[in-house]
Structure formats: structure tokens, C-alpha cells
Amino acid sequence: MNDTDVSKQIQQMVRFIRQEAEEKANEISVAAEEEFNIEKLQLVEAEKKKIRQEYERKEKQVEIRKKIEYSMQLNASRIKVLQAQDDLVCSMKEAAAKELLLVSENDDAYQNLLKDLIVQSLLRLKEPSVLLRCREEDLQLVESVLGPAKEEYAQKAGVHSPEIVVDNKIFLPPAPSNSDTHGLYCSGGVVLASIDGKIVFENTLDARLDVVFRKKLPEIRKCLFNLVVA
């Protein structure tokens, strides 16, 4: 081989070495780009998923809180309406209680009422001997109807005329004065008890109002509410 040929061969080999290196570098570069993309995508997707879940959870919490708040407000408003209804119904009872005070002012009617109340109490107690208590201001009226009352009871129950002991010492509280509606008061009527005091029958006008009111309450409420719904 002469020098030119050797030189040529050397050049070829140099070029070859360079070519191989560049090819390898290229491969590395391409692989790098692929790995870059895959790595970046994986990282991004993993984090995005976490973030999505986080916000889903946040939104759910907000939803729940809203529902709870609304439900609370609904309840509060229902209670408000029920309270209003209750207040209205109670003021009707109070109005009735006020008018009740006028009952004892009509002597004739009241006297008759007292007699009926005493008879009713006797019929309920079914005792041969009873205690009777009334308001001090009603004492005279009561004593005036004791006779007729005993007779009526004896006839209706088919027994002997009972013994009625009127309490002259302790009376039912009087009608309320304007200034004192919070103290004890009685609008009229009587209280009877078995002679041993163990069975008591309250037949005062106030007690009767309580009983009637409680009994009629559903009906009154229905009247009140029915037309609101309509």
C-alpha cells in the first residue's frame, strides 16, 4: 500500500467513527425526547387526578352544608308558624276566660248553673257525704240551691239525700281584680270532695274551661289551619 491509500483509509475510518458517534448521539436524543414526554405526561396526569378528587370533595362538602342550612331554615320557619298558631289559639282561650267572669254576674242564670254543677259533682262522686267549697261571694247563692240540688241528685241517682258540708272557713279565691291577674283567682263554680277529702272533683268555671279547651283544641286548630292551606 502506498501512502495515499493509507491516508484514504484513515480518512474513511475517521469519517466512520464520527458517523457512528453521531448516530448514537441521535438515538440518545430521540430516546430522551420520548422519555421526556412520557415522564411529563405521567406526572401531570397523576397530579391532575389528585386535584380533581380534591375539588370533587370540596364541592360535595359545600352541597351538604347548603342542604343542612336550608333544612334548618325550613324547620325554623315551620316552628315560627306553629308558634303563631299556638299563640292565636291561646288568646282565644284568654278571651273566653275574660268573658267567663261575666257569667257570675247574672244572678238568676248563675244560681241555676251552680245548682247544676253541684248535682253533676254529686253524680260523679257518688258519695253519701261530701265537702263543698265555693267562693266567699257565692256562699249565699250556693246555700240557697243546696236543697234543690240534694233533691235532684237523690232522685236521679235513686239514693237518699246526701249530706253536704259547706266549708265556711276556707273559700275558693275570689274573681280577679284588674291589677292582679297573676295571682290565684276563681271565676265561679264549686269544688266537691268525698268527706275524707281523698276524692276531689273540681267543677269551677275555670277548670271546666280548661277541659273544654283541651277537648276542642284539635277542632279549633283545624278551623284555623284549614283555610291557610286552601
Partner 1 sequence: MDTRQSGIQQLLAAEQEAQRIVNEARNAKMARLKQAKEEAEKEVAAYRAQMEAEFQRKLAQSSGDSGANVKRLEQETEEKIEHLKSQAENISHDVVQMLLKHVTTVKN
Binding to partner 1 in span 58-97, by CB under 8 A: 58-59, 62, 66, 69-70, 73-74, 77, 80-81, 84-85, 88-89, 91-93, 95-96
Q: 1 or 179, CB closer to partner 1?
A: 1
Q: Which stretch binds partner 1 (CB under 8 A): 8-16, 134-142, 160-168, 193-201?
A: 8-16
| 60-97 residues labelled b (16+ CB within 10 A) or e (exposed) | eeeeeeeeeeeeeeeeeeeeeeeeeeeeebeeebeeeb
Own/partner long-range contacts of 136-141 (Cβ < 8 Å, ≥24 apart):
136/171, 136/174, 137/104, 137/174, 137/175, 138/104, 138/114, 138/188, 138/190, 139/166, 139/168, 139/171, 141/107, 141/110, 141/111, 141/114
Q: Which stretch binds partner 1 (CB under 8 A): 22-30, 140-148, 158-166, 173-181?
A: 22-30
Cβ(153)–Cβ(123) under 8 Å?
Answer: yes
| Binding flag, residue 126, partner 1 (CB under 8 A) | no
The H or E element containing residue 152 is: helix 139-157
Span 168-227, contacts to partner 1 by CB under 8 A: 205, 208-209, 212-213, 216, 220, 223-225, 227
Q: 126 or 156, CB closer to partner 1?
A: 156
From the list 3, 184, 198, 218, which residue makes contact with partner 1 (rule: CB under 8 A)? Answer: 3
| Binding flag, residue 228, partner 1 (CB under 8 A) | yes
Q: 117 or 193, CB closer to partner 1?
A: 117
- List all residues 6 or more positions away from 162 whose beta carbon is below 8 Å from its beta carbon: 122, 127, 128, 129, 130, 150, 153, 154
Q: Which stretch binds partner 1 (CB under 8 A): 35-43, 140-148, 167-175, 190-198?
A: 35-43
C-beta of 209: minimal distance to partner 1 in Å? Answer: 5
Q: Which stretch binds partner 1 (CB under 8 A): 11-19, 130-138, 167-175, 178-186?
A: 11-19
